[in-house]
Structure 1
Amino acid sequence: MFDMENTTVLDRPMLDELVPSRYALKIGEIDVLVISDGVLPLPTTMLAHNAEPAVREAWLNDMYLPKDAFDWALNVMVARSGGRTILIDAGLGLDPDLQLPRAGQLMKRLEAAGVNLGSVTDLVLTHMHMDHIGGLLVDGVKRQLRPDLQIHVSAAEVEFWRSPDFSRTAMPPGFPDALRATANHFMEEYGSHLRTFESSHEVAPGVVVRRTGGHTPGHSVVRLASGGEGLTFAGDAVFAVGFEQPNWHNGFEHDPEEAARVRIDLLRELAESGEMLVATHLPFPSVCRVAAEGEVFRWVPVFWDY
């Protein structure tokens, strides 16, 4: 169990933050901690490059968001089940060339939450974009990890990054090169730790990772299930705009039409089951449920439980 009574270190200013950066809950017997890796400022066109600018701007206005750029949340999750501690995604890291000082906060926030990197037995990667693997490339992180750490990622994802195709994406300049370089660096450092799967794999009791494709060819989601309760960590399958506009194409999607199909199927599945959803880029702590309203969906945030 995460000891939430003794996780804040108040005598170290770098860990004493006014903004909440972690949220704990239980899914049956599985302990869950959602941790914020910070925020990533990106152009709003990245939300929907296939939408008419006026329509996209109207949605942003309805959401009280700026029309040009806004901060995307970066969420990571830790789960404990069956004696294993599973980190789901690893955040952006701290690449000084990116000039993103409000992102890459995961490692200090894991420490503040009392999660020792040496206790992590498994890492699940939803995909290998740099904001999901970069935390492992921060100086000093690798030597804190267990030598027998298992990193679970779909075989299709590993194969894609051997020679990635960005022809159907719509990213800002520089991003394809940065994504490619980070993935190559990650493979050099952690290739021997990879445990690939084809379609699905049970990482620990009640913790199953399933390949969906779409956002990237090997993109996966992670479902936690215990005691009749369930929660899905959706990675980048769902963005804030994807509830009302599930067919809008995100600029990072490698197969936009397939990504939309995956998103709609996942949201329908969650609306029918009533199970909870967490996603990388939904506002922290992201924990919500999904309601279906005709051909679109409604995002229903959970009430915080203290």
Structure 2
Amino acid sequence: MLSVDDTLHSNSQAPRDLVPSRYALRVGEIDALVVSDGVLPLPTATMATNADPADLADWLNHMFMPPDAFDWPLNVMVARSAGQTVLIDAGLGGQFPGFPRAGQFPQRLEAAGIALESVTDVIITHMHMDHVGGLLVAGVKERLRPDVRIHVSAAEVEFWTSPDFSHTVMPKPVPDVLRSTATSFYNEYRDRLRIFEDRHEVAPGVVVRITGGHTPGHSVVDLVSGDERLTFAGDAMFPVGFDHPDWHNGFEHDPEESARVRIGLFRELAQNRGLLVAAHLPFPSVGRVAVDGDAFRWVPVIWDY
């Protein structure tokens, strides 16, 4: 039996994860893979900027979470449909100091047997640094095929030409880093961008559609095949959102619209009974949404080994 010591001191050049970092499933004829990009520590105050601090403290205690900081999960996805390999978001990357447990997607993608050279399309739900930063890691662009198509909404590209942070409540250094990262992403990949307006089918059964809210061009991705479906919701929802969908996240550029988008997606998913994956729900974040009146409940799937 392999011991923890054997794992930590393996002769293999590639380190082995002690916990699973990818989860595969099928959505009809579409192969899907959720990949953990790691975790990002953030102040808990960013989780509910319009809530009474006592109410937030009670929720954190109820959820067995620490009072001051929490680990924000980072998830990306890969979908294979009709010969296309579609990467959905690209994680944080490694160019930001102080986040050693994030930016894991490139090596974890390779460990899953998916070469960057095989990616035909990339969908960017929005241009925050933890969704485009992975494409700025040294060596990543060079390995992507020259004809790779990177799909992002027109509203998102337009927003980042002069972003508005007036309704956000972020740690002080973050807005400048978000702005510079979005600019770097655009400058590096502008010749590969495929801009869409409202809705676009990237591959058979893989559809990206704009929701707005979190950012003006924020989008979600639907995988639909036969009578099965999965929605990758990007940053439309966070763990606290099921109990308190009206609580605002500090990274939302339009908090009121974000709440409306979140509630609308919850109701849509409860009605169509499709699977949900989101960038910042605990890995692998595959589950469903149950609704009872104005109350929502997260129902994780049982892992299928």
**Distance (whole Å) between structure 2 residues aligned to residue 55 and residue 19 of structure 1:** 33
- 1:64-119 per-residue CA deviation (whole Å, 9 max, x = no partner) reads 000110101000000000110000000000014x3100000000000100000000
Q: What is the one-letter code of the residue matched to 1:111?
A: E
Partner of 1:284: 283
**Distance (whole Å) between structure 2 residues aligned to residue 83 and residue 137 of structure 1:** 26
Partner of 1:222: 221
**Distance (whole Å) between structure 2 residues aligned to residue 37 and residue 12 of structure 1:** 21
SS of structure 1 residue aligned to 2:45: helix
Q: Give runs of aligned pairs for residues 1-306 of structure 1, distance below 5 A.
A: 12-96=12-96, 98-306=97-305
**Distance (whole Å) between structure 2 residues aligned to residue 221 and residue 21 of structure 1:** 22
Aligned residues between the structures: 296
**Distance (whole Å) between structure 2 residues aligned to residue 136 and residue 118 of structure 1:** 13
5+ residue gaps in structure 2?
1-9
SS of structure 2 residue aligned to 1:231: strand
SS of structure 2 residue aligned to 1:172: coil
Dislocated runs of 4+, deviation >2 Å: 10-15
Q: What is the one-letter code of the residue matched to 1:31?
A: D
Structure 1 residue 12: deviation in Å? Answer: 3.0
- 1:264-287 per-residue CA deviation (whole Å, 9 max, x = no partner) reads 000000001110000000000000
Q: 1:272 to 1:113 in 2, by over 3 A?
A: same
Judge conservation of contact 1:15–1:108 (CA < 8 Å) in 2.
no
Structure 1 residue 15: deviation in Å? Answer: 3.4
**Distance (whole Å) between structure 2 residues aligned to residue 192 and residue 296 of structure 1:** 45
- 1:132-185 per-residue CA deviation (whole Å, 9 max, x = no partner) reads 000010011111000000000000000000010100000001000000010111
Judge conservation of contact 1:229–1:275 (CA < 8 Å) in 2.
yes
Judge conservation of contact 1:127–1:220 (CA < 8 Å) in 2.
yes
SS of structure 2 residue aligned to 1:139: coil
Structure 1 residue 11: deviation in Å? Answer: 5.6
Q: 1:11 to 1:114 in 2, by over 3 A?
A: farther
Q: What is the one-letter code of the residue matched to 2:158?
A: E
- Mean Cα deviation higher: 87-96 or 210-219: 87-96
Structure 1 residue 14: deviation in Å? Answer: 3.6
**Distance (whole Å) between structure 2 residues aligned to residue 11 and residue 146 of structure 1:** 32
**Distance (whole Å) between structure 1 residues aligned to residue 262 and residue 85 of structure 2:** 28
Q: What is the one-letter code of the residue matched to 2:272?
A: S
SS of structure 1 residue aligned to 2:41: strand
5+ residue gaps in structure 1?
1-9
**Distance (whole Å) between structure 1 residues aligned to residue 15 and residue 150 of structure 2:** 27
Q: What is the one-letter code of the residue matched to 1:151?
A: I
**Distance (whole Å) between structure 2 residues aligned to residue 56 and residue 95 of structure 1:** 32
Identity in percent = 69
**Distance (whole Å) between structure 2 residues aligned to residue 148 and residue 15 of structure 1:** 31
**Distance (whole Å) between structure 2 residues aligned to residue 19 and residue 123 of structure 1:** 27
SS of structure 1 residue aligned to 2:127: coil
**Distance (whole Å) between structure 1 residues aligned to residue 222 and residue 88 of structure 2:** 11
**Distance (whole Å) between structure 1 residues aligned to residue 183 and residue 288 of structure 2:** 36
